[in-house]
Chain A
Amino acid sequence: MLVEIEVDGILQRIETEPTKRLLDILRDDLKITSIKEGCGEGECGACSVLIDGKLATSCIVSASAVNNKKITTLEAVKKTELFSIIEDSFARFFASQCGFCTPGMIMATYHAFKKLMEDEKYKENLIREGKVKDYFAKSIEGNLCRCTGYNQIIDAMMDIFAKINKRNNNGK
């Protein structure tokens, strides 16, 4: 079948089997190799992308399921302002060791911050209840890091959170 998908803002028409994995389309057909294959069963998060803005593990999504949908990969996220903050904090807090899970972790981090930015009320609730760290830990619960660098990643997320808040406050 012919599948039409918008990948990082570019419309792609791809002739494919309906059940081919989105992961294989992105890596093999479109050569976007920041998307890693880990478990292949949707349990490790290394292949995370956004589908219509929602975090997804591309190894368990079929080509036909994303027909006419928008895919965002790390390649597009890299060009955002939010990414430059994420990158800086990940580096400072040694949140990347072997690096294999990192693209997926960044996608999950990006997705988590997007949600906070869109829902100010939700964010304020988290702060009031002292659950910000808990929220970040839960937002990467679908991503495995075999170097077990979770604490560093969560610390980096707290740092990003502080930076964004500081910048917002200065802007006010």
Chain B
Amino acid sequence: MESEVYYPQTLSELLDIISQNKVTIYAGGTDLMVEKRKGKSVPADINLPIVHIKDIEQLNTIEIKDEFIEIGACCSYTNLLSSQYIPDILKDAIKTIGGPALRNFGTIGGNICNASPAADCVPVLAVLDAILTIESKNGKRETNLYDFILGRKKVDLKEGEVLTKIKIPYKYLENIKYYKFEKIGLRNAMTLSKVSVAVIAEKKIQIAFGAVAPKFVRIIENEQILSRKKIKFDQFVKLYKPYFSAIDDQRSTKEYREDTACMIGYKLYIEAFEKIKYKS
């Protein structure tokens, strides 16, 4: 069946189109086209009319506004890497995504909305307390990553809504004492995460894990305990392991993922703790 294709030029045109039609939103297409080929397209809607949003200028900007770095959802990884505003920890994560060709087309908004448990930007954005702007014809709302990502490949986007901006507060970035993103994959280049961990420390240590549960894991209550005094590895495992529910798949096993996440998480935690302990 022949399906329709839309090329909105502006955000308001896009909002009009998605308010009237059931559509598949196509940004970089790097996940969508692979899923289509495997025939397990989880949105399963690639037969719906396609809306190409990559070239909408309002979704391709990176700017500083008020207390935030505002990133348009369609910014490609390559654009983000060449921007002076993007925090280094996010750049470190982006550098591990795919190769140059993929980074030219893959978008930060796509990484979030595709909601893969192994998405590399997500744990980093989680420790940075990123806020997402969702727009529809009826208006705008803001949400955080924890509420937005509902589970594996599931996000809280209602009909007629689209993710337009990712806002990173730069309150931490000015006095940041420690940051690190670490990922374990099968090889160093061009690889998908088996496990990923992002840590930042300003006054408090903030840790998020990727690929160990249907959605990223960041436990705010634990961060109080971690920051107060240096804890032992056993205790660290007790604090985090109950929240992990990794899966066995072609890339790795549940056991490997969860154990490795604890080990890397603890290693980075100790590094971060050493950096903040004299200053607090």
Cβ contact of B101, chosen from A21, A65, A138, A142, cutoff 8 A: A142
Determine whether A62 belongs to the interface, using a CB cutoff of 8 Å to chain B: yes
Q: Which of B144-184 contact A (CB under 8 A)?
A: none
Asked whether A142 and B5 contact (CB < 8 A) given A48-B101, A55-B100, A65-B54, the answer is no
- Nearest A-chain residue to B36, judged by Cβ: A19
Chain B residues, CB < 8 A from A43: 98, 190
* Structural contact, B36 and A142, CB atoms closer than 8 A: no
Give CA–CA (A91, B57) in the complex, Å. 43
Contact string, B32-44, partner A, CB cutoff 8 A, digits 1/0? 0110110000000
* Structural contact, B36 and A108, CB atoms closer than 8 A: no
> Measured between C-beta atoms, what is the minimum distance from A137 to chain B in Å?
8
> Measured between C-beta atoms, what is the minimum distance from B4 to chain A in Å?
8
Chain A residues, CB < 8 A from B98: 42-43, 142
The 27 listed contacts between A and B (C-beta, < 8 Å) are A1-B5, A17-B2, A18-B3, A19-B33, A40-B37, A42-B34, A42-B102, A45-B101, A54-B78, A54-B105, A55-B101, A56-B105, A57-B102, A60-B34, A65-B52, A67-B5, A108-B100, A111-B100, A140-B99, A141-B99, A141-B100, A141-B189, A141-B190, A142-B99, A142-B100, A142-B190, A144-B190
Determine whether B85 belongs to the interface, using a CB cutoff of 8 Å to chain A: no
* Structural contact, B102 and A18, CB atoms closer than 8 A: no
- Nearest A-chain residue to B102, judged by Cβ: A42
Give CA–CA (A42, B34) in the complex, Å. 8
Determine whether A61 belongs to the interface, using a CB cutoff of 8 Å to chain B: yes
* Structural contact, B104 and A55, CB atoms closer than 8 A: yes
* Structural contact, B37 and A41, CB atoms closer than 8 A: yes
Chain B residues, CB < 8 A from A144: 190
* Structural contact, A19 and B105, CB atoms closer than 8 A: no
> Measured between C-beta atoms, what is the minimum distance from B38 to chain A in Å?
8
Contact string, B96-132, partner A, CB cutoff 8 A, digits 1/0? 0011111011000000000000000000000000000
Give CA–CA (A139, B189) in the complex, Å. 10
Binding site for B on A (CB under 8 A): 1, 17-19, 21, 40-43, 45, 48, 54-57, 59-62, 64-65, 67, 108, 111-112, 138-144
* Structural contact, B30 and A42, CB atoms closer than 8 A: yes
Cβ contact of A62, chosen from B2, B33, B99, B190, cutoff 8 A: B33
Determine whether B50 belongs to the interface, using a CB cutoff of 8 Å to chain A: yes
Chain B residues, CB < 8 A from A40: 37
Chain A residues, CB < 8 A from B99: 45, 140-143
> Measured between C-beta atoms, what is the minimum distance from A148 to chain B in Å?
12
Listed from nearest, the 5 A-B pairs whose CB atoms lie closest are A142-B99, A141-B189, A60-B33, A54-B104, A55-B101
Identify 12 new A-B residue pairs, CB closer than 8 A, beyond the known A42-B101, A43-B98, A64-B26: A19-B33, A19-B50, A21-B33, A48-B101, A56-B104, A56-B105, A57-B102, A64-B5, A64-B52, A141-B189, A141-B190, A142-B101
Chain A residues, CB < 8 A from B46: 19
> Measured between C-beta atoms, what is the minimum distance from A24 to chain B in Å?
11
Determine whether B29 belongs to the interface, using a CB cutoff of 8 Å to chain A: yes
- Nearest B-chain residue to A139, judged by Cβ: B100
Q: Which of B69-103 contact A (CB under 8 A)?
A: 78, 98-102
* Structural contact, A56 and B5, CB atoms closer than 8 A: no
